[in-house]
Structure 1
């Protein structure tokens, strides 16, 4: 059995995965005349992507004044890990993002309060309290695949995976290190988009890909866009 999702592309390496994602993002932004909402992921491959977007190959191709950047999850609390995804984007994008266009998850309060605050911010962005199947929350969602099969901060066997109403949840106990509180968008919120891109690189991702291919019910396998869900794999992950 192939350990690859049905809708996937196999690319030479992590740099090629980042470049393919950048090209998709540019195309999404170009196809829309108004504000564009992008939900970001953390990790090493997104870091390559963000640096690429801010670099000479893509910087001038993006309508930075129309782009709004959100986050699929974040570590919160008073530890050094808190805010790592926000810092990743800030360090890569620098002053390319106009004020008010980067929407970080609060990290200076308990996870439950941070989740409530971010849900309120998403409702303001969306302009409604309930998701409309005919209107997406984001234009593009970037996700990763954990070695345990998690995505965002939705971990196997945790109750947050089953949330069907809330857009954002507190995750008091992560499923793997670092075991710090987190905030995560839910599957309904992550799926409220015409396009999800999974960025998957490295040999450590072969095992969860095989588990998904075997039909195991993992959070990453449940994340489905309303339109396309595309897995961008490098050769080491694809096997």
Structure 2
């Protein structure tokens, strides 16, 4: 039995994973003539990806004026960790993103209020209060895999990972450090896309990948795009 998830692709290193993801985003942009919604994740490999998108190899291949950037999760509150995913994108993209095209999760209120506000923003973007399986919310969702099997801020054993109705949930208690409140998209929103890309790098991801392959019911294994779910792994993660 394979120890890697269905739909996986093994690449040499984190740079190659980021480059493969960038190529998929360029392909999406080339196929769709109107506005494009991309849901971002945090972490070291996405950081490489975002800098790559803003760099000379990809910057001119993307229609920045049609791209809108959303977030799969965020740390909230009054600590220095709050807004870290937003800052990651802002620092990488700089002034390439037109005003109003970056849609950060609010961080300056209680997590429940931040979640409610972001769900309202997603519904305004979508133009409806209910998701239609025939009409995606995002054109691509980027995701990661935590060493405990979490994705976005949906942690094993936490009720938010089982949410099947709300688009956005408050996560008052994270499952891993830093133990700060978070806001996360729930499965209905994460899955409302024709393409979900899991970017998984580093030897520390071998164990959760093996647990997923063994059939353990981890949050990362439960997220399935309405279309294609692709796992981009580097050799260190794939073992």
Sort the TM-score into its range (normalised by shorter chain): over 0.9
Which residue number in structure 2 is paired with residue 152 of structure 1? 152
1:27 partnered with 2:21: no
TM-score by length of 2: 0.99
Q: Deviations over 1:3-38 (max 9, x none)?
A: 211111000000000000000000011110110000
Query: 2:18 & 2:123 partners in 1: Cα distance?
Result: 30
TM-score by length of 1: 0.99
Question: In the TM superposition, what is the alpha-carbon distance from 1:2 to its structure 2 partner?
Answer: 2.5
1:105 partnered with 2:105: yes
Query: 2:31 & 2:100 partners in 1: Cα distance?
Result: 23
Q: Deviations over 1:207-230 (max 9, x none)?
A: 000000000000000010011000
1:1-239 matches, within 5 Å, as 1-239=1-239
Query: 2:211 & 2:186 partners in 1: Cα distance?
Result: 22
**Matched residue SS, 1:91:** helix
**Matched residue SS, 1:70:** strand
Instruction: Return 5+ residue gaps in structure 2 as ranges.
Output: none
Question: In the TM superposition, what is the alpha-carbon distance from 1:79 to its structure 2 partner?
Answer: 0.3
After TM superposition, where is structure 1 displaced by more than 4 Å over at least 4 residues in a row? none
Question: In the TM superposition, what is the alpha-carbon distance from 1:139 to its structure 2 partner?
Answer: 0.2
**Matched residue SS, 1:132:** coil
**Matched residue SS, 1:60:** helix
Instruction: Return 5+ residue gaps in structure 1 as ranges.
Output: none
Q: Deviations over 1:46-78 (max 9, x none)?
A: 000000000000000000000000000000000
